[in-house]
Chain A
Amino acid sequence: MTNRKSTNWTSRDNAMLRQSLHRGATRRDLMKMMMAGGLTMSASGLILGSATAAYAAEPTMGGMIRVAGATSSTADTLDPAISSNSTDYSRICACYNRLTFLDTSGDPQMELAESIESDNAKVWTINLRSGVTFHDGRTLSADDVVFSLARHLDKAVGSKVNSIAAQMSEITAVDPLTVQITLDAPNADLPVILSLHHFMIVADGTTDFSAGNGTGAFMVEEFTPGVRSVMLRNTNYFKDTGPYLDGFEFFAISDENARLNALVAGDVHLSSALNSRALRLLDATPGVTADASNSGNYTNLNMRRDMNPGESLDFVTGMKYLLNREQIEKSVMRGLAIAGNDQPVSPANRFHNAELAPKAFDPERARHHFEKAGLLGTEIPIVASDAATASVDIATLVQQAGSEIGMNFNVDRVPADGYWSNYWLKAPIHFGNINPRPTPDILFSLLYTSDAPWNESRFKSESFDTKLVEARGELDFARRKEIYDEMQVMVSEDAGTAIPVYLSSLDGRSEQIGGLESNPLGGMMGYAFAEYIWLNT
């Protein structure tokens, strides 16, 4: 470990290294990358050894661990439909399963389904795995799947994915192990949609979800909303691999420092959502480390295209050139971010348009556009709030950069409580914060089509709307990618939403924990960590 310190190598770099490994970089690529960064051959080798140690280790069986989440309240639930945060997701991933799940590279893999097929992307046939049992001993059948999916259509359930599920016009059990879903229009994304946490499969007829009766790797031993939950290994789990742990206790520590202290003091083994400020402390403490993951959450600067000054495309373009993305990435986010190119499909998504480069910071060019828009020198308010991560810092950077080219931005900092109902979508220039969504289709229909409920900048384009419908029904991956690439360019150029960076999250763990990998659905392996990790003793 001494080498790590002498080369100023931090666990953040370790985390980045692991991410590159996931993306398929070879050991030689990485050595090259580090030596270009000024490290000697031997130091690089050592670092690579420690960064990749988690891979080499063999899973060990047994052990109880404690995991600390970031938020918890009396609203905690084991009902997948209304689950809303990392705490809920961590629990439901342990006790239920989905039909499909997303692997590290964002491709859907089968879980409770054996296959999901369609010739026209409209009528889908799902074959279920046989011999899977719920915790109460009942066998999984098509009725359970029909019940689990149809629930989301009932407004009274309050499902978070009601609008996504609404396209399933018919869900029927063909035989005990076959389900047929008919969509109201073709959608090739169905296998990915079914991997959302909310589409976990529950037992037919369940009304009280507090027992967490699913098919998952862990059974609920205790569940007290807002306090804690204890889960123990399901000995009848249908997968051959995992779970390795005997069980785990999950609770949330809402205070960021307390969460970090608990990890450093050894009271918890995993601690989610740490601040990048914690990196140095984590490095100085033997036995703990951190993993960064980027699933595409972003804070964006919205300029409404139906109001002054965002009506002028020149103003919007000028603002995009005025964002110093590198500084936001390196200074504001302390490296825990990836530069964005003003469109919502992040590099974690398999449809990300990698050729669309982020706009470079260019005050002169920005000035040219502001001048064309006739806005140079006028006072322009920007609404920012702690509710949208890092927005106050980003607004201040824009203000400073603006003052150097004769633009007069006024940062209007407003309280976090009530921000989303009072300012977001409403103010002419304001910040938003959007959670990752698994498909471009969901992102675009939620945020960019002419009738999108959250069209943050009131972007309207008929050809965009047509392309979206065309891509949705297209089963050929290459063709879809082509259409989505074009749409990303359209949003990046014409929409009033500047997306400077995609934010990464930082999870801390004890070095005794092995098997943790990154996932496009979020930190802690898309919150499904429980069945994959093990405890080295």
Chain B
Amino acid sequence: MNGLILSVLLQRLGIALISLFIVSLAVFAATEMLPGDVAEILLGQAATPDAVAGLREAMGLNEPAIYRYFRWLGGLLTGDMGTSYVNDTSVASMIGDRLSNTLKLAGVAALLSVPLAMFLGVTSAMFRLSPYDRIISFLTIAVISVPEFMLATGGVLIFAVYLQWVPALSLASEVSSFGELLRTFALPVGILTVTVSVQMSRMTRAALIDILSSPYVEMATLKGASMPRVVLKHALPNAIGPIANAVALSLSYLVGGVIIIETVFNYPGVAKLMVDAVATRDLPLIQSCAMIFCFSYLFLITLADIAGILANPRLRT
């Protein structure tokens, strides 16, 4: 079993390196296709042709873009993510704070949403087609169908503007006590938990129902095993693979895809950093953010696969 996990890990590591390289190339190509460059954007309405040429010269943007790309790639291999074109500070320090903010938010949301989703998914699979299952299904699909920005803005209007229970903004820097932490994070975490856990609970329910309809489960039921025993002991281990994948997908979304939550609550995380970087055509920063998102995705998917192998005896041989 250990050998299998090791070979999965090694294989994944290889794939990860290749994927990261391909992603960086794709991101580079896409960035090159965007109109305007960093000099034009920085100068804005002062971008007369003369001024742009001068700034390009000074920023070293006159050499072919592909050289700059390979210089960045070479730097990355030695652990240096480069220097931002826009404000001349190191990309590593810019990402550092933002990443820890993102991980804080993602971590709390994950801690709440995974158990919640598991509970909802497993129970609604157990009592499928019961009124309980129908209500849960109705609610989860309703939440999935409402765009995240609606939920977030609606949440702010109700809880921050009218009820005034929580602040409208999540100012991470203001937090000094546990109570404040709860108040500050309540709304963004609540909305992330809701949006992420509904996806996971739907997937869990579907995976489990699939297993529950298989002959061996029927056999276990006929032998007189209780409902919870059938579900938890016999069916769930076989469903862990797909469930773990659903969880991994949702969690990787928490790292890179929460731009809407970050925007609505003005929370300084990495997703907003990457959007800034694209808006200013800041190549080293765009690339480094893309690497982080891609890496976190691959990491979580690998974890999910390992969890699947550990849970399912048939995969261990």
CB–CB B43/A255 < 8 A: no
Please name all residues of chain B whose beta carbon is closer than 8 Å to the beta carbon of A454 when the two chains form the complex: 48
Inter-subunit contact B169/A258 (CB<8 Å): yes
Q: Does B32 contact A (CB under 8 A)?
A: no
Q: Are B164 and A265 neighbours in the complex by a CB distance under 8 Å?
A: yes
B45 within 8 A of A: yes
**Cross-chain contact B84 with A418 (CB below 8 angstroms):** no
Within 8 Å CB of A77, what residues of B? Answer: 87
A76 to B171 alpha-carbon distance, docked (Å): 18
- CA gap between A163 and B47 in the complex, in Å: 10
In angstroms, how far is the closest chain B Cβ from the Cβ of A86?
12
Say if the beta carbon of B16 comes within 8 Å of chain A: no
In the complex, whether B312 has a CB less than 8 A from a CB of chain A is no
Whole-angstrom distance from the CB of B29 to the nearest CB of chain A? 16
Interface centre among B84, B169, B173, B285 (most CB of A within 10 A): B169
Chain A stretch 70-90: residues in CB contact (< 8 A) with chain B:
73-77, 82, 84-85
CB B39 to nearest CB in A, in angstroms, measures: 7
Is B266 in contact with A163, judged by CB distance below 8 angstroms?
no
Q: What is the 8 Å Cβ interface bit string for chain B, positions 90-110, against chain A (1 contact, 0 not)?
A: 000010010000000000000
Say yes or no: is A155 at the interface (Cβ < 8 Å to chain B): yes
Closest to A76 in B: B87
Contact A156 B54 (CB under 8 A): yes
* Interface hits, A136-167 → B, CB 8 Å: 155-163
Task: Determine the chain A residues whose CB is within 8 A of the CB of B161 once the complex forms.
Answer: 261, 264-265
CB distance from B175 to the nearest CB of A (A): 14
B94 touches A74 (CB 8 A): yes
A-B contact pairs, 27 of them (CB 8 A): A73-B86, A74-B276, A74-B285, A84-B42, A84-B46, A155-B57, A156-B57, A156-B58, A158-B51, A158-B55, A158-B58, A158-B59, A224-B268, A227-B97, A252-B266, A254-B263, A258-B168, A258-B264, A261-B160, A265-B156, A265-B161, A265-B168, A268-B169, A418-B35, A421-B35, A422-B35, A453-B50
A413 within 8 A of B: no
B44 at interface (Cβ–Cβ under 8 A)?
A: yes
B265 at interface, CB cutoff 8 A: yes
CA distance A435 to B45 in the complex (A): 8
Contacts A75-B87, A225-B87, A261-B156 given: A158-B42 contact, CB under 8 Å? yes
CB <8 Å contact, A160 and B86: no
By a CB distance below 8 angstroms, the chain A residues around B169 are 253, 258, 262, 267-268
Question: What's the least CB distance linking A283 to chain B, in Å?
Answer: 15
In the bound assembly, the distance between CA atoms of A71 and B198 in angstroms comes to: 33
**A74, B84: Cβ atoms closer than 8 Å:** yes
Which residues of A in the span 177-233 have a Cβ within 8 Å of any Cβ on B?
224-228
B163 to chain A: closest residue by CB: A265
List residues of chain B with CB within 8 A of the CB of A157.
58
Closest to A208 in B: B88
Whether B42 pairs with A227 at a CB distance below 8 angstroms is: no
**Cβ of B280 and Cβ of A162 under 8 Å apart?**
no
- Alpha-carbon gap, A254 to B57, bound state (A): 31
Instruction: Please measure, in the bound complex, the distance between the C-alpha atom of A253 and the C-alpha atom of B152, giving whole angstroms.
Output: 15
Contacts of B265 in A (CB 8 A): 258
Query: Cβ of B43 and Cβ of A163 under 8 Å apart?
Result: no
Which residues of the partner chain B approach A163 to less than 8 Å between Cβ atoms?
46, 48, 50-51
Given A255-B263, A421-B36 in contact, is the A75-B276 Cβ separation under 8 Å? yes
Q: A257-B264, A258-B156 are in contact. List 4 more A-B contacts (CB 8 A).
A: A74-B277, A75-B276, A158-B39, A252-B266
Restricting to B260-316, which residues have a CB under 8 Å from any CB of A?
Answer: 263-266, 268, 272-273, 276-277, 279-280, 282, 285
User: In this assembly, does B237 line the interface, its C-beta being within 8 Å of a C-beta of chain A?
Assistant: no
Using Cβ atoms and an 8 Å threshold, which residues of chain B touch A75? 42, 86-87, 276, 280
Q: Is the CB of B46 within 8 A of A255?
A: no
List of A residues within 8 angstroms of B272 by Cβ: 226
Partner of A418, one of B34, B57, B160: B34
Cβ-defined contact, B153 with A228, below 8 A: no
In the bound complex, do residue B48 and residue A261 qualify as a contact, i.e. CB atoms below 8 Å apart? Answer: no
Nearest chain A CB to B153's CB is how many angstroms away? 6
Quick one: closest B residue to A257, CB to CB?
B153
Q: Are A226 and B35 in contact (CB under 8 A)?
A: no
Question: Chain A: which residue is nearest B278 at the CB level?
Answer: A417
Q: How far is the CA of A252 from the CA of B272 in the complex (A)?
A: 12
B276 with A421: CB separation less than 8 A: no
Nearest-CB distance from A314 to chain B (Å)? 32
Q: Are A226 and B268 in contact (CB under 8 A)?
A: yes
Interface membership of A251, Cβ < 8 A: yes
How many residues from A make CB contacts under 8 Å with B? Answer: 45
Interface residues in B, total, Cβ within 8 A: 49
Please give, as numbers and ranges, the residues of chain A lying within 8 Å of B34 by CB-CB distance: 417-418
* Beta-carbon contact of B44 and A261 below 8 Å: no
Task: Check if A74 sits within 8 Å of B86, measured CB to CB.
Answer: yes
Cβ-defined partner of A155 (8 Å) among B51, B84, B87: B51
Contacting residues, chain A, for B39 (C-beta < 8 A)? 158
**Cα-based distance from A155 to B50 in the complex (angstroms):** 9
Which of A162, A251, A421 is the one whose CB lies under 8 Å from B266?
A251
One digit per residue, 1 when the CB lies within 8 angstroms of any chain A CB and 0 when it does not, for chain B 104-148 equals 000000000000000000000000000000000000000000000
CA distance A251 to B156 in the complex (A): 19
Chain A residues within 8 Å of B153, by CB: 257-258, 261
Bound: A264/B276 CA distance, A: 27
CB within 8 Å of B: which A60-109 residues: 73-77, 82, 84-85
Q: Mark B53-65, 1 if CB is under 8 A from A, else 0.
A: 0110111000000
Complex: A251 Cα to B89 Cα, angstroms: 20
A228-B173 contact, Cβ under 8 Å, with A77-B87, A155-B55, A265-B168: yes
Contacts of A251 in B (CB 8 A): 171, 266
Complex alpha-carbon distance, A421 and B40, angstroms: 9
Closest approach, in angstroms, between the C-beta of A255 and any C-beta of chain B? Answer: 5
Interface positions, chain B 213-230, Cβ under 8 Å from A, are none
Q: CA A82 – CA B279 in complex, angstroms?
A: 17
Interface residues of A in 240-290 (CB under 8 A from B): 251-255, 257-258, 261-262, 264-268
Quick check: A267 and B168 within 8 Å, CB to CB?
yes
Least distance between B84 CB and chain A CB atoms (Å):
6
Task: Report which residue of A226, A264, A454 has the largest number of chain B beta carbons within 10 angstroms of its beta carbon.
Answer: A226
A159 and B40 alpha carbons, distance in the complex (Å):
12
| Distance A453 CA – B282 CA, assembled complex (angstroms) | 26
Closest to B268 in A: A227
Query: Does B190 belong to the interface (CB within 8 Å)?
Result: no
Most B CB contacts (10 A, CB to CB) among A161, A257, A434 go to A257
Chain B residues positioned under 8 Å from A266 (CB to CB): 164
Q: How far is the CB of A232 from chain B (nearest CB, A)?
A: 15
Contact B86 A453 (CB under 8 A): no
Q: How far is the CA of A454 from the CA of B55 in the complex (A)?
A: 19
Q: What is the chain B residue whose CB lies nearest that of A434?
A: B45
Q: Is the CB of B268 within 8 A of A265?
A: no
A225 vs B87: C-alpha distance in the bound complex, in angstroms? 9
- Contact of B157 with A by CB under 8 A: yes
| B280 touching A267, Cβ below 8 Å | no
User: 0/1 per residue, A431-469, Cβ < 8 Å to B?
Assistant: 000110000000000000000011000000000000000
Residue of B nearest to A85 (CB): B44
Q: Name which residue of chain B comes closest to A230, CB basis.
A: B173
Contacts of A226 in B (CB 8 A): 268, 272-273, 276
Tell me the residues in window 3-30 of chain B with beta carbons closer than 8 Å to chain A beta carbons. none
B49 at the interface (CB under 8 A from A): yes
What's the minimum C-beta distance from B235 to chain A, rounded to whole angstroms?
44
With both beta carbons as reference points, the residue of chain B lying nearest to A262 in the complex is identified as: B168
Q: Are B266 and A74 in contact (CB under 8 A)?
A: no
Are the CB atoms of A155 and B58 closer together than 8 Å? yes
CA distance A114 to B273 in the complex (A): 44
Residues of A within 8 A of B45 (CB): 434-435
